[in-house]
Copies of this chain bind each other. A is one copy, B any other.
């Protein structure tokens, strides 16, 4: 009986990690569908209430600012013209109630002559486990334009 309990405990812990990874993948993969369909509140709820979205263009603090970006004229013009915010396979590291996910993002846009690759960026998601499930506390996105900060961000994929 003691052996069974020990094995159950080990399995339960392994299962918890796999569940966490699945939930984090689901969270990150919801970003594109949320913003490309203009669901600003759904997109903002990927973050914690005071979560931060730190991009080359600006730093958005809290859900209201993130929702405001989705509702803004730049983003609405992108949607009207045809846009896909594609987040790639996340490299996930879980450490208790915190996690880091590193992935690439690409924004494809419908242009005059067809589809084009508008932006390619490195992403670091710092996530926390909340009562509502995993949420982003801080997401940093940096264009892969040769600048040092994007390379440094990618280089930290193995760190918590």
Contact = CB atoms under 8 A, between A and B. Distances in A.
Given A11-B12, A18-B22, A154-B36, A145 B82 contact: yes
A116 interface: yes
Interface residues of A, number: 64
A104 B88 CA distance: 10
A19 B18 CA distance: 7
Task: Count identical subunits in the complex.
Answer: 3
B19 A8 contact: no
Interface of A: 4-5, 7-8, 11-12, 14-15, 18-19, 21-22, 25-26, 28-30, 32-34, 36-39, 42, 79-84, 86-92, 102-104, 106, 108, 110, 114-120, 122, 143-147, 150-152, 154-155, 157-158
Nearest to A42: B158
A19 B14 contact: yes
Given A4-B5, A83-B144, A15 B26 contact: no
6 nearest CB pairs, A to B: A37-B155, A82-B146, A33-B157, A37-B154, A29-B91, A33-B154
